């Protein structure tokens, strides 16, 4: 039994999208954002108050890239994961970890200081600096996608889901003008994937069924 705790279009979208790619049965528990404030009960489940929380086979994971790595390795060895003996293993891990540590990190600063903080605490300089930082950090993906349709291993992997979410968030928070032509075309291809579309539908359906707003907190 797999349970994913999720807020609409938050980083928990990474494991949600991967669950759909893997066609695994799962329960999607929606929380209003941020659960730490909106739903104090959530702190009993995850003291960090953050999403994702992925509960699978008695294991609990709270890092979105680790969720992707775990699900791909456990349920899709050699297909959506890249095995340790594969020459592309290093690149695979690097993209997976880059997705959050390097790409989503500056995005969260942009979001916080342009959107979530009250007007008197907003920081236009932080927003401008970390928007530029995000654009600069996309250069590696722009280069990798010059010669290939996916990031590594010559095929679609969990790393594409993890990095793809950073592109989704970029679009939601107005950073997609930083996409070069290769990243922009890649993002179009990712959005056309049936599993990506199913994940969008799943979060909308679950939000409506559970009385949570289907709008992303970024809206």
Ligand X SMILES: N[C@@H](CCC(=O)N[C@@H](CS)C(=O)NCC(=O)O)C(=O)O
Of 51, 145, 159, 161, the one binding ligand X (CB under 6 A) is 51
Whole-Å CA distances, 97 to 3, 9, 69, 141: 23, 19, 9, 13
Of 63, 161, 168, 182, the one binding ligand X (CB under 6 A) is 63
Window 81-120: residues binding ligand X (CB under 6 A)? 100
Of 34, 135, 174, 214, the one binding ligand X (CB under 6 A) is 34
Least distance from ligand X to the Cβ atom of residue 2, Å: 17
Nearer to ligand X, 36 or 189 (CB): 36
What does the block give as tokens for 128?
């401008």
Least distance from ligand X to the Cβ atom of residue 151, Å: 18
Listed residue (208, 213, 198) closest to 20, CA to CA: 198
Least distance from ligand X to the Cβ atom of residue 139, Å: 21
Window 11-30: residues binding ligand X (CB under 6 A)? 11
Least distance from ligand X to the Cβ atom of residue 35, Å: 7
Listed residue (83, 84, 79, 99) closest to 15, CA to CA: 99
Least distance from ligand X to the Cβ atom of residue 50, Å: 3
What is the C-alpha separation between 199 and 204, in angstroms, rounded?
Answer: 9
Residue 69 within binding range of ligand X, rule CB under 6 A: no
Buried b (16+ CB within 10 A) or exposed e, 4-21: bbbbbbbbbbbbbbbbbb
Listed residue (32, 36, 43) closest to 9, CA to CA: 32
Nearer to ligand X, 127 or 182 (CB): 127
Of 19, 52, 71, 195, the one binding ligand X (CB under 6 A) is 52
Nearer to ligand X, 140 or 172 (CB): 172
The SS3 call for residue 179 is: coil
Residue 36 within binding range of ligand X, rule CB under 6 A: yes
Are the CB atoms for 98 and 140 separated by under 8 Å? yes
What is the C-alpha separation between 185 and 218, in angstroms, rounded?
Answer: 24
Contacts to ligand X by CB under 6 A:
10-11, 34, 36, 49-52, 63-65, 100
């Amino acid at each position: 039994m797999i349970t994913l705790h999720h807020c609409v279009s938050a980083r928990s979208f990474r494991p949600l999208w991967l669950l759909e790619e893997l066609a695994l049965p799962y329960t999607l528990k929606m929380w209003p954002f941020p659960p730490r404030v909106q739903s104090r009960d959530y702190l009993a489940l995850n003291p960090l108050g953050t999403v994702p929380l992925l509960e699978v086979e008695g294991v609990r994971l709270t890092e979105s890239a680790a969720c992707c790595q775990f699900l791909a390795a456990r349920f899709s060895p050699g297909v959506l994961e890249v095995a340790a003996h594969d020459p592309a293993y290093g690149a695979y891990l690097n993209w997976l970890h880059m997705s959050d540590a390097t790409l989503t990190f500056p995005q969260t600063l942009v979001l916080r200081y342009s959107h979530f903080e009250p007007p008197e605490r907003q920081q236009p300089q932080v927003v401008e600096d970390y928007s530029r930082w995000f654009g600069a950090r996309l250069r590696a993906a722009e280069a990798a996608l010059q010669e290939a349709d996916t990031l590594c291993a010559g095929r679609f992997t969990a790393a594409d889901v993890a990095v793809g979410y950073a592109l989704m968030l970029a679009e939601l928070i107005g950073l997609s003008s930083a996409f070069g032509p290769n990243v922009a075309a890649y993002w179009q291809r990712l959005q056309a994937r049936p599993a990506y579309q199913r994940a969008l539908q799943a979060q909308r359906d679950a939000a409506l069924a559970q009385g949570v707003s289907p709008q992303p907190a970024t809206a």
